[in-house]
Amino acid sequence: MSEAHAGLPVLRTAFLTAMAMLAFAANSLLCRLALQQGAIDPTSFASIRLVSGALTLALMVRLRPQGVAPGRADWLSAAMLFAYVAFFSFAYLSLSAGTGALILFGAVQLTMFGVGLRSGERFGLVAWSGLALAVAGLVYLVLPGVAAPPLLGALLMAIAGIAWGVYSLRGRGVADPLAATASNFARAAPLALVLSLLFVGKAHADAAGIALAIASGALTSGIGYVIWYAALGQLSALRAATVQLSVPLIAALGGVLFLAEAVTPRLATACAAILGGIALVLGSRAKQAKTPKKP
């Protein structure tokens, strides 16, 4: 019985992580659909996404049981959230989906690995092997669409990846994921509105674009990020970075299911490599560097 209870936190973390990755992939599909079809401009999409997320999360905080302390103001996390949403939206105006995903999650990984190593995490051979396998699978998946990307678009997506990496790392120690995420969205939304004012002359949106932005903000961003914050407390920097490699893969599979794209041998091979690599990383242990005690 005790072993069963001991395994519950692991299963809970695995479930929350899987749900967060699905939300991220769905968010990517919604953003691509809205921007690539010209249904909305990037600043309007970013603003509606953050505002609808903020309103949804504020309602969730208000409706939950009383007696829970409000979230602590964290302007750095809010700024990172805003930067990720804004730069992500602009980058996809010029980047293909595969190239953008590769740049985004490459930047996320480098950011989270660097901070993890600096904070004392040490990774074994199995973990590094799993990481290499997952990265190889991701590159193999998107390589056909990777040509020389526009420099500006690549730079914008790299900044978005760094911002998302920092935002994720700052969420690892959050005690109340809902309150923290609601607080971050509430502070990021006005920043997006200011950005929209700077590009008001280029703003446009039809009903479909607005609906996609609201779905992205209220569901796959707002609620998805609460789930992600809840999972982060049990994930090392290496694991948190590596599991996010699954997002481009899930998005590609979403294209197969919802856009009638063919299931190719390349997609199947990449799927096996990415999921196998993630399994190796999650099955390994990250060691904390120990400082020798002074005599």
Domain residue spans of the chain: 12-121+150-243
Quote the pLDDT of residue 54: 95
Quote the pLDDT of residue 46: 95
Per-residue model confidence as pLDDT tens for the chain (295 residues):
444 444 557 788 888 999 998 998 888 888 888 887 888 999 999 999 999 999 999 998 888 875 555 556 789 999 999 999 999 999 888 776 666 777 787 788 778 777 777 777 677 788 788 878 888 887 787 776 655 567 888 889 889 999 999 998 888 777 788 888 899 999 999 999 999 999 988 899 999 999 999 999 999 988 888 898 888 877 877 777 778 878 877 877 777 777 566 667 877 787 788 878 877 876 765 444 444 444 4
Q: pTM for the full model? A: 0.78
Quote the pLDDT of residue 64: 80
Contact between 142 and 101 under an 8 Å Cβ cutoff? The reply is: yes
Contact between 242 and 130 under an 8 Å Cβ cutoff? The reply is: yes
